Amino acid sequence: MMKSGSDIQPHTPGILAYARPIYLLSSATAIGQLITFATTPILSRLYSPEQFGTLAVFVSMTSILGIMAVLKYEQAIPLPRSDRKSTSILALCIILLPCTSLLLTVLILAFGSSLISKFEVSSLLDVQWLIVAAFMLMGLREVLSAWCTRKEAYRQIAIAKLTGRVTMAVVYITAGLINPSSFWLVVGFCAGEVAWVLTLATVIIGSNGPRMTVARFSSVRANARRYSRFPKYSLPGSLLNSMGLHMPSLLLASLYSPEVAGIYFMCIRFIGAPPTAIQGGILPVFLKESTRAIHENIPLTPLFRKMAIGIFALSLVFAIMLAALGPWGFGLILGSRWESVGTYAQILSLAVALQLLIPGISQVILILERQDLQLKWEIANITIVCGSIIVPWGMGNSAVTTVAMLSAGITISYLALFGIACWLVRKRDASLDPDTPIN
């Protein structure tokens, strides 16, 4: 539909307009990971691998389940032009959250004990009621974050991230000094989510909050249909992605022991902090610049190549540093009972770096609207990840051998994702005007 001559064209902001939100969000991510990195040597001396194994199973279960809290409708909140429609989507999410939480409660009451027993984490039975609480908090956090994004409340998002991290660390350390137990690790995780949600809620309460009175049921129902592609397509992909990240902890706890899962979780927590912080600075800039390149019909290859070279260089340096540190170095940093983290870190370093950094530049797959390829890769990835643990275990291999196979599987999977992104970028640039330089 053509616009009338009286329509006012919106002003397109320059790159400087994006500098502040990019700086705020990337800084919050970097500082949050710095807090994780700095507090890990303290926590490793307060808690045992078995206790971290309980936390690993809890975080993995709730992270996978939390994807389904509002069926990914929260992704639609920033999309409508009018606040009226956006508010009706927010209302839809608020209606869905207690419904999915109630369903999860029924499932836990019916099958929770038998499911938890398969992971051989008996201490989790004492906190299984917190699974529903964490599920609701994660769903609410995503909904509020989406509204804050719509309102460009980037400062509140950044503060919320840091508040959650700090709260979690304070509870972990305080409880560890008084009475270290897996119960308090789980409580600390939930406390961080509470702090995150409460900070984001200030936007809802303040002047940027929605006017819920305009969200009539007919509008809620209409928008549920209008944005039904999110539960149909985004939900399966997000669920598979979350499973690819968190299934290793669940499988290692179930097939080996909570101690093995705890060592793996500690390893990922510690060595994953620097790549995650780097990604927090790279991703917003790459998304902004790649989107601009597409809108202005200019080649993506130079930007993609530059980012790829940087990522692979950082990954290689990161892997070499961790390999040199070894079990002795990790034993010195984390404590003698965590020396095996050094072995795991040597095995997993390159895989973890690629797993955390490649998805950032591979967002071009979604930008170029090839969600079908992304979903196919997600299916292949979860198959590779689970298979690389189950097959070695079935052959009677040790946990270290299984982790090595997992590392190889992750590396192959994410290199394949990178290959798909490269192919799409080259294909898209080849379709431009032949006179447009790509290099």
What are the Cα distances from residue 359, in Å, to 310, 353, 419? 14, 11, 12
CA distance 142 to 89: 13
pLDDT at 433: 63
| DSSP string covering 89-102 | HHHHHHHHHHHHHH
- Please state the rounded mean pLDDT for residues 82-89: 87
pLDDT at res. 406: 97
The CA distance from 417 to 423, in Å, is 10
**For residue 297, what pLDDT band results from cuts at 50, 70 and 90?**
confident
* Residue 4 confidence (pLDDT) above 70: no
Find, among 212, 94, 80, 108, the residue nearest to 142 by Cα.
94
Q: Note the pLDDT of residue 401.
A: 97
Residues 388-409 have pLDDT tens digits of: 999 999 999 999 999 999 999 9
Query: Would the CA dihedral through 404, 67, 419, 270 be positive or negative?
Result: negative
Q: For the chain, what is the radius of gyration of the CA atoms? A: 22
What is the pLDDT, as a whole number, of residue 14?
45
- The answer to whether residue 173 scores a pLDDT higher than 80 is yes
174-192 pLDDT, tens digit each: 999 999 999 999 999 999 9
Most confident residue range from 112-126, 205-219, 271-285, 330-344: 330-344
Contact 139, 66 (CB under 8 A): yes
pLDDT in tens, 348-358: 999 999 998 89
C-alpha–C-alpha distance, residues 250 and 353, integer Å:
21
Which pLDDT score, from 0 to 100, does residue 26 have? Answer: 74
151/295 Cα distance (integer angstroms): 23
pLDDT tens readout for residues 205-239: 765 555 554 556 778 889 899 999 889 888 998 99
Q: Which residues of 143-174 are buried (b: 16+ CB within 10 A; e: fewer)?
A: bbbbbbbbbebbebbbbbbbbbbbbbbebbbe
- pLDDT value at residue 175: 97
pLDDT at 263: 96
Kindly indicate the confidence band of residue 11, based on its pLDDT and cuts at 50, 70 and 90: very low
Is 158 or 193 the better-scoring residue by pLDDT?
Answer: 193
pLDDT at 84 over 70: yes
Backbone angles phi, psi at 29, to 5 degrees: -65, -45
**pLDDT surpasses 80 at 264:** yes
Q: In this prediction, what percent of the chain has a pLDDT beyond 90?
A: 55
Sign of the Cα pseudo-torsion (270, 394, 63, 245, in order): positive
DSSP state for residue 73 in the 8-state scheme: G
Most confidently modeled range among 26-40, 104-118, 381-395: 381-395
Cα 30 from Cα 52, distance rounded (Å): 23
Check residue 2 and give its pLDDT: 39
Map tokens 């944005």 to a residue: 227
Give the other-Cβ count within 10 Å of 37's Cβ. Answer: 17
The whole-number pLDDT of residue 144 equals 94
What is the average per-residue pLDDT within 342-369? 89
| 405 contacts 348 by C-beta, under 8 angstroms | no
pLDDT score of 24? 75
Q: Copy the structure tokens of residue 274.
A: 């620097």
Average model confidence (pLDDT) across the chain: 87
pLDDT at residue 5, rounded to an integer? 40
* The most confident of 46-50, 427-431, 433-437, by mean pLDDT: 46-50
